Structure 1
Amino acid sequence: MPSKVNLGMTYALLVFIWSTTPLAIVWSVSDINAFWALALRFFLALPLAIALLVLFKNTLPLDGKSLHSYLAGAFSFIGSQVFTYMATAYLSSGIIALMFGLAPIMTGLIGRFFFQVYLSRLQWLGMGIAVVGLGIICLGGSDQHVHPMGIVLMLISVFVYCASIFWVKKVNAPLQPMSQATGSIMVSALFSLCMLPFIWHLAPTSVPSAKALLGLGYAVIMASLIAMFCYFKLVQNIKATTLSLTTVLTPMLAMLFGALLNEEKLSLMVLLGAVILLSGLFVYFYKDFRANRELAHKLKH
């Protein structure tokens, strides 16, 4: 098992990458059509993922169950990201990250209504607080880069992302994390290929700006590959509740990076809504965090 320092550095790196990925996406579409930026991301990520698969001597099974799992996983990649890239026209990078912070709540709702998973009163309260925060963001962002259409697109994106997780678990193919990810990137690249006839006329006619290329490169290498390694390493070595804390940390940092590096200005009402939404997330996870802390205290003594 990796040392605590090693896991701590991995955790910090994952939070950093997830905090900066929305900004990378916004930059990548600054000079490239959103659909082309998305397609190029998977076209470039696929050979790199295959190279890493070979390097770590993992296989890429192509039986029916594995292919089904790759398709399910691809929905959390291109299925979700297509709506995220569309939302860049309506939302700042910080608000995009904030919306993805709703993933655990969306997962809870899918689990409750489709799989009869129990939710406590505190979790329902956390959801209610988060929805109030989201409403304030919509109202307070009318004169900012916060548009209701972007909120709707991001809600669809988060829903598809969460539904994909349930789908992968339902298929339950015996795959290595790297194999699952590479297969899902492969399916995403195939879907991107199918998009080309519809977006060919939107292809870049000149070399994109340095900012757009930097954003695209970051999305390919850091968000699609390195973050994937960090995530699966942490899944295997730390508690799920500890990992889920990234949901609260990431949006706050993303809004900070957006303000510092992309001059994203948010009104006080939007910031208030963000604080309320994050408070709702904290309430939603409160029991888990408390149980985790009590367990750690017992282990020390």
Structure 2
Amino acid sequence: MPIPVAYLSIILIWSTTPLAIQWSALGAGFAFAVTARMAIGLALAILILLLWRLGFPRHREALATYAAGGLGLFGAMTLTYWGAQYVHSGLVALVFGTVPLVTSLMAALWLNERALTAPRLAGMLIGLAGLAVVFSTADGLGSDRAWLGLLALLLAVLCYSAGLVWVKRIGDDSPPLAITVGTMTVALPLFLLVWLVTDGGWPDQLSGRAAAAILYLGVCGSVLGFALYFYVIQHLDTGPVSLISLINPVIALMLGSLVNGEVLPGRVWAGAAAVILGLAIYQWETLAGLPRAWFPAAKSSN
């Protein structure tokens, strides 16, 4: 599959994920929603793996990748689902928009990737300032416990970024679908444990919207999304991969407003614009180089 197609597919799937996460927990609870999603996703991924006869690598690097991806997935998804109960769906994507900042900092420490330059530092400061504007008050962000939700989302970003850089550092070249299966195999027992501790019961009222959202997340958000995600990080540096989060907040905020009737204060939109501007400045060199990275023939023809 061409890398641009996989890249754009991830943007489409993950832009709709925050709204689907909120819908999936309606009448079900966050722990059941995320556990059901992962169970569906793992079952489908194993079926596809067997039908395609791709094999399931069990060498040292593969097992390390499964562990790194699984732990990162568990931490990020548990915190995200819990935090999404208290904030508007668009804010989930907005907070995750800081992934490039955190990922690049971790990559600089773990992978010895590019050091911070003056433009990148300026972009980081602008983005963090925009996030501070959003965090300045919880009024109008979803509930009276919005600040707890935002804090959980920030911790989720740390888990997500650490998992991304950890997997990249291992450098395993196993098939993306096999990595997806291994990652979810590690994570699913942990999700089951959280469900048993927090609730452990089948939801009394599972709406059709919640069931459809869980199914969508299990099929697209987990199997397809993660398989494409691992495929992309095998072919691109962590910088371009983290740029996926640059567009997601814009689409997610629009979807939350148009589809879910979420009304956000003006300062949130201003803060979101600052976050996105900061991210664009921070990753400007990467943005400018993406066409040449994807279409090498275009580079040689100039």
Same fold by TM-score greater than 0.5: yes
2-structure distance, mates of 1:218, 1:257: 16
Q: Distance in 1 between matches of 2:238 and 2:165?
A: 16
CA spacing shift, 1:240–1:188, aligned 2, 3 Å: closer
2:118 to 110, 117, 121: 121
Does 2:216 match 1:218? yes
State the partner residue of 2:63: 67
Conserved in 2, the CA contact under 8 Å of 1:23 and 1:254?
yes
Query: Against the structure 1 CA distance between its residues 289 and 169, is the aligned structure 2 distance closer, same or farther, given a 3 Å change threshold?
Result: closer
* Contact 1:141–1:267, Cα closer than 8 Å, also in 2: no
Question: Which secondary structure state, in structure 2, belongs to the residue aligned with residue 262 of structure 1?
Answer: coil
- For residues 234 and 167 of structure 2, the distance between their equivalents in structure 1, rounded to whole angstroms, comes to 17
Query: Matches of residues 5-84 of structure 1 in structure 2 within 5 Å?
Result: 9-84=5-80
Contact 1:38 1:85 in 2 (8 A): yes
Alpha-carbon deviation of 1:121?
1.5
Name the CA distance, whole Å, in 2 between partners of 1:21 and 1:163: 20
| Residues matched between the structures, number | 296
Normalised TM-score (structure 1): 0.88
In structure 1, C-alpha distance between the alignment counterparts of 2:9 and 2:287, rounded to whole Å? 21
Alignment identity in percent?
Answer: 27
Q: Cα 1:179–1:294, aligned 2, differ >3 Å: closer, same or farther?
A: closer
Please tell me whether the aligned partners of residues 23 and 209 of structure 2 are also in contact (alpha carbons under 8 angstroms).
yes
2:52 partner amino acid: F
Q: Which secondary structure does the structure 1 equivalent of 2:139 belong to? A: coil
Match of 2:279 among 278, 281, 293: 281
- CA distance 1:8–1:68, change in 2 (3 Å): closer
* Residues 25 and 85, structure 1, Cα contact 8 Å, conserved in 2: yes
* Residues 286-295 or 261-270, more deviating: 286-295
Deviates more, 1:86-95 or 1:135-144: 135-144
**Shift of residue 240 of structure 1?**
6.6
**Cα distance in structure 2, aligned partners of 1:164 and 1:9:** 23
Paired residue secondary structure (2:57): coil
Deviation at 1:62, TM superposition (A): 3.5
C-alpha change, 1:209 and 1:111, in structure 2 (3 Å) is same
Task: State the AA in 2 paired with 1:221.
Answer: V
Aligned: 1:194 with 2:190? no
**Structure 2: runs of 5 or more not aligned:** none
Q: TM-score, normalised by structure 2?
A: 0.88
1:100 to 83, 96, 100: 96
Specify the alignment match of 1:299 in structure 2.
300
Q: 8 Å contact 2:168–2:233 — kept in the other structure?
A: no
Greater Cα offset, 81-90 or 230-239: 230-239
- 1:167 matched to which residue of 2? 166
